[in-house]
Chains A and B, each alone.
Chain A
Amino acid sequence: MSGPSNYQPGSAFEKWLDTRLPIIRLGYDSIVDFPTPKNLNYWYTFGGILTFCLAVQIVTGIVLAMHYVASAQPFIEGSNISQAFASVQRIQRDVSYGWLIQSLHTVGASMFFIAVYIHMFRGLYYGSYKAPREILWAIGVVIFLLMMATAFMGYVLPWGQMSFHGAAVITNLIGAFPVVGDALRTWIWGDFAVSNATLNRFFSLHYLMPFVIAAMVGMHIWALHVPGNNNPTGVEVKSKADTVPFHPFYTVKDAFALALFMILFAAFVFFMPDALGHPDNYIPANALSTPTHIVPEWYFLPFYAILRAIPDKLGGVIAMFGSIMVLFALPWLDTSRVKSMRYRPLARQFFLLFVVACLTLGYVGAQPAEGLFLIIAQIATAYYFLFFLAILPILGIVERPGNAPASISEAVLKPGAARPAHAAAE
């Protein structure tokens, strides 16, 4: 996608094609010959894993759409089970391998988020958002937002109790906006409450979004291939000695990591498909009664905790959206000249504390928003924003970073030599 190309068309056909549509050249330059830092560790395999996750969701999703019925009408006369709910059960019970495909899709959503969170924390730790990769990072945040929207709408589709009341809670957030809130909410519902119309449009958009995500992933990879990969040292590639060709070095490493990831994936799909879900979503949607303990899917819990930590409705909504928006500003909030936190002793500790804060938010997000939990959520929320808005900007000025190696090769040859003493154990 960038830089000089080493592609040599072999056959006459390849030569002919190369002068008309250099698609083989594109593939060769991007995933075969692409010079990649030779010190990428396993945290860097999650990009490939995420591509796999997206492919799984799209393929299984297309299949499920062949059987799913987006209708809130009763599936048989007199029943309070909707056609949507019954069609998901029909997939589980009657469609050949439907149980497998549906389970892959549901569990796949969780796996997607596990991978994306690791991918994001990795970028955060190694400073992958810093120049010249600000756009790359911003596209990543857009993909994350799209993923959240897609996952939310997908969770509504089975039309169980959690689907229905989860949709009600989240769409009601929009009502918090001044002036236009009510009109906007009604417009999104297409009715005066979450209804059949809402279900239908959510299905339509749930089908559309993954293709938008796929396009954004293409841009993400494009933006990655212009400056090339960051790496654990945060030191840019200086010479060819710092790199290896992507294939076979990283294709095989990514494939191995993917196989490990698939073992985890399969363990959930085949042995505990409901472990990450909530029993209440196996109760058909009932507009007259809300589940006593309503929680979103686990991957939204930290944001849900931030929402509830603020005692004001609009304030909570702003904080929740702000917690993601702040990521867009991150490349300019972090003032340090050193990329990788490997060589930033203080930032490292604040980063680990940030991870703890995120996990804590995830935990309290699943608990009732009262008493001690509320206080914990507020402290963790405060730290979340402080980390981006105060700690990172100030640290860049006051912190004395350790000595980063002169090049990747040097770091590889003399591990530990260039690092601050207390980082050597890493």
Chain B
Amino acid sequence: MAEANTAPGMMTPLGHGAGTNEHDASRRDFIFIAAGAAGAIGAAAVVWPLIDQMNPAGDARALATIEFDLAKLELGQEVRFTWQGKPVFARRRTPEEITKSEQTALSALKDKLSRNQGLPASADASDANRVPVGPDGKPKPEFIVLVGTCTHLGCVPVFGQGDFGGWFCPCHGSHYDTAGRIRIGPAPANLEVPKLAFVTDSVVRIG
């Protein structure tokens, strides 16, 4: 203990003096590594709350599902509302529109996948795979519910314009048909169909 004072100018903290042996040194190394590792683990644990706080809070998550009554829609009417802050289009299609959409060949589509959150990712983009499935398990082709965010760069398409009787995105000119499928334009994918579940015969839960 005392010999340190006989060596003025001694600046190295470790491994000086006659009493130091290899065993001591390795024991000390272990202590330093353990203390350093414990500190690092603590610091890492603190980082998580600081990251997680930026995720949607409880009030935002509570709105993650909403319900909508499709019976309110008149023939040909489109209603817009927000879900998770995103625009949602719900529309009741006319029989002509349904027939036309059902007869569209897959080969005519730019994106051949259904883009339906309620179906496997590999499902094709046939009209039946885009419309909601009723409580009886049968598709309800008169209705279409879409996330109204253009798959190109997130603008909100307008209805009734464009070459396919459906939606048209004014930002960069993407044309969607009445089933929300991309036909012409820069958008890479069909409009997304949210996960839908019927709560009653006509009330559908989104999300």
Residue positions of A touching B, CB distance < 8 A: 59, 63, 66-67, 90, 93-98, 100-101, 239-241, 244-245, 248-249, 255, 409, 412-413
Contact = CB atoms under 8 A, between A and B. Distances in A.
Interface string B1-45: 000010011010110000000000000000000010001000000
B122 interface: no
Given A101-B49, A255-B39, A413-B5, A94 B57 contact: yes
Contacts, number: 51
Contact of A249 (B5, B13, B49, B53): B13
Interface string B37-69: 001000000001110111101110000000000
A93 B11 CA distance: 53
B50 A101 contact: yes
B179 to A, nearest CB: 38
A244 B13 contact: yes
Contacts of A67: 53, 57
Contact of B53 (A63, A248, A255): A63
A98 B53 contact: yes
A331 to B, nearest CB: 32
Nearest to B14: A248
6 contacts: A59-B50, A66-B53, A67-B57, A101-B49, A255-B35, A255-B39
Given A59-B50, A66-B54, A96-B55, A245 B11 contact: yes
Contacts of A66: 53-54
A36 to B, nearest CB: 11
Grouping DSSP codes into helix (H, G, I), strand (E, B) and loop, the A interface class, with mixed when no group exceeds half, is helix
A113 to B, nearest CB: 22
Interface residues of B, number: 18
B13 A245 contact: yes
A25 B189 CA distance: 55
B63 to A, nearest CB: 12
Contact of A96 (B35, B39, B52): B52
Interface of B: 5, 8-9, 11, 13-14, 35, 39, 48-50, 52-55, 57-59
A347 B8 CA distance: 34
Contact of A241 (B8, B35, B57): B8
Contact of A248 (B8, B13, B39): B13
A101 B11 contact: no
A245 B10 CA distance: 10
A16 to B, nearest CB: 27
A100 B49 contact: yes
Given A59-B50, A409-B5, A93 B58 contact: yes
A370 to B, nearest CB: 46
A96 B57 contact: yes
A96 B49 CA distance: 7
B9 A240 contact: yes
A97 B13 contact: no
Contacts of A97: 48-50, 52-53
A392 B54 CA distance: 53
A266 to B, nearest CB: 11
A63 B46 CA distance: 13
A307 B175 CA distance: 73
Nearest to B60: A94
A95 B59 CA distance: 8
A239 B9 CA distance: 8
Contacts of B9: 240-241
A5 to B, nearest CB: 14
Contacts of B39: 255
A244 B16 CA distance: 14
Given A90-B57, A96-B55, A98-B57, A240 B11 contact: yes
B121 to A, nearest CB: 29
A252 B58 CA distance: 41
A241 B9 CA distance: 6
